[in-house]
Amino acid sequence: MKAAVLHEVNQPLVIEDISVPNPGPREVLIRTKVAGLCHSDLHFIEGLYPHPLPAVLGHESAGVVEKVGSDVTYVKPGDHVVTCLSVFCGTCDNCTTGRPVLCTDTTVKMLPGQSNRLSWGRKEKLNQFLNLSSFAEQMLVHENAIVKIRKDMPLELAALIGCGVITGYGAVVNTAKVQAGESVVVIGCGGVGMAAINGAEIAGAGRIIAVDTNPAKLQLATKLGATDVVDPRNGDVVQQVRDLTNGGVHHSFEVLGRKETAEQAFAMLAPGGTATIVGMIPFGQKIELHGFDFLRERRIQGSSMGSNHFRVDMPRLVEFYMRGKLHLEDWISAKIKLSEINEGFANMKAGKTLRSVIMFDA
Ligand code: PAD
Ligand code: ZN
């Protein structure tokens, strides 16, 4: 089967022939139908985050079950599934206390370089990425890395839920638990930020302020629920937000992954407000905060994959789409072939796209 392989950072991905073995007892073989390009993949391509190479990236996908291992009862061949990198064991302390995103069982949630699921007829090991590797025609995954969805859900929209949408929506609903009427700022309205805005709208947030340097993104943010927009090019972002919110917001979400914007997210909080950092700030970078701000009970927290319980959350997001509350069609800027993946990432870097999705059957 064909897969896009990253050999070295800052080099184009190369389409190569690779293979996967038959599923082990708790594994599922999936025919990949759609894979979205997420900025997290780009962070790894650019070496801002380390990963053993060569590797097949990709982690936002949907497909159809082809084969299941001997112990798998959750799915059967023909089922439609969405993948999630938040694979969980179900028995560690974090899983049993309701935080499966933080699963600590590395036999299930394998560490980078640990899985031997991909091969390619060479001595050199080919690494699986985040226990998924979606930029490939097939995926071999643990059964707890997938969720079944209804078959009338279009797979290209379902794939988006697998990372970008669950991450943005979940940051608002699960991590920050935004209450009806509270004010929200989202800094960075890409695929993930847009889901935070749509999620804030679903949660009944009051003021929803979108911050982005791209006017087209701000326009779409308004369609998805933003009540106000802020363009950083028009002056100090923190001051602009303070002016709009009578002194500060209840919840800010940094969905970009930069030191400056993470600091802005904290600085724009009202007393008692919470900043949630979703973006992946380059590995090793530190952020600086004013200690005084903590005296008024301002908080800052991380959010991993929207603190999801994806077996519950993702089918709910599908229902939100079906009921017209989650505007997934607006996310897709381009449908591309696997062979066009490098162009897809170049367009992401240039800010031209919200989400490009690889359609494997096209
Ligand atoms: P994206 O490239 O689609 O969106 C980034 C957006 O930021 C674009 O709309 C830009 O126009 C905008 N932007 C650029 N500069 C600024 C600025 N100075 N101020 C405001 N906006 C600006 O990325 P994405 O939505 O795919 O991902 C966003 C981040 O979320 C990225 O760091 C990614 O790695 C991270 C992420 N985190 C998790 C997690 O579990 N925490 C999961 C998935 C993605
Ligand atoms: Zn992602």
Per residue in 220-233, pLDDT (tens digit) is 999 999 999 999 99
* Band of pLDDT at residue 180, cut at 50, 70 and 90: very high
Amino acid 340: pLDDT: 98
pLDDT over threshold 90, residue 190 = yes
* Band of pLDDT at residue 200, cut at 50, 70 and 90: very high
pLDDT over threshold 90, residue 72 = yes
- Residue with the smallest CA separation from ligand 1 atom 34 is 40
Residue in 37, 40, 220, 307 to alter for ligand 1 test, most ligand atoms within 8 A of Cβ = 40
Amino acid 159: pLDDT: 98
Averaged over 250-269, what is the pLDDT? 98
Nearest atom, ligand 1, residue 277 CA: 41
- Residue with the smallest CA separation from ligand 1 atom 26 is 39
> pLDDT tens digits for 274-288?
999 999 999 999 999
Nearest atom, ligand 1, residue 258 CA: 32
Residues marked as catalytic = 38, 40, 43, 59, 163
Q: Tell whether ligand 1 has an atom less than 6 A from the beta carbon of residue 206.
A: no
- Three-class secondary structure assignment of the chain: CEEEEECCCCCCCEEEECECCCCCCCEEEEEEEEEECCHHHHHHHCCCCCCCCCEECCCCEEEEEEEECCCCCCCCCCCEEEECCCCCCCCCHHHHCCCHHHCCCCCCCCCCCCCCCCECCCCCCCEECCCCCCCECEEEEEHHHEEECCCCCCHHHHHHHHHHHHHHHHHHHHHCCCCCCCCEEEECCCHHHHHHHHHHHHHCCCCEEEECCCHHHHHHHHHHCCCEEECHHHCCHHHHHHHHHCCCEEEEEECCCCHHHHHHHHHCEEEEEEEEECCCCCCCCCCCCCHHHHHHCCEEEECCHHHCCHHHHHHHHHHHHHCCCCCHHHHEEEEECHHHHHHHHHHHHCCCCCEEEEECCC
CA of 358 to the centre of ligand 2 (A): 14
Nearest atom, ligand 1, residue 304 CA: 40
Distance of CA 133 to CAs 66, 84, 239, 252, Å? 16, 11, 42, 31
Averaged over 320-325, what is the pLDDT? 98
Averaged over 146-157, what is the pLDDT? 98
* Band of pLDDT at residue 62, cut at 50, 70 and 90: very high
CA of 161 to the centre of ligand 2 (A): 10
Q: Tell whether ligand 1 has an atom less than 6 A from the beta carbon of residue 264.
A: no
Q: Tell whether ligand 1 has an atom less than 6 A from the beta carbon of residue 191.
A: yes
> pLDDT tens digits for 9-47?
999 999 999 999 999 999 999 999 999 999 999 999 999
What percent of the chain has a predicted confidence (pLDDT) above 90?
99
> pLDDT tens digits for 73-132?
999 999 999 999 999 999 999 999 999 999 999 999 999 999 999 999 899 999 999 999
* Band of pLDDT at residue 297, cut at 50, 70 and 90: very high
Q: Tell whether ligand 1 has an atom less than 6 A from the beta carbon of residue 189.
A: yes
Instruction: List the domains of the chain with CATH numbers.
Output: 2-148+332-359 (3.90.180.10), 168-304 (3.40.50.720)
Distance of CA 213 to CAs 11, 238, 310, Å? 27, 14, 31
* Band of pLDDT at residue 362, cut at 50, 70 and 90: confident
Q: What is the mean pLDDT of the chain?
A: 97
Amino acid 105: pLDDT: 98
- Residue with the smallest CA separation from ligand 1 atom 31 is 279
What percent of the chain has a predicted confidence (pLDDT) above 70?
100
CA of 22 to the centre of ligand 2 (A): 27
CA of 361 to the centre of ligand 1 (A): 28
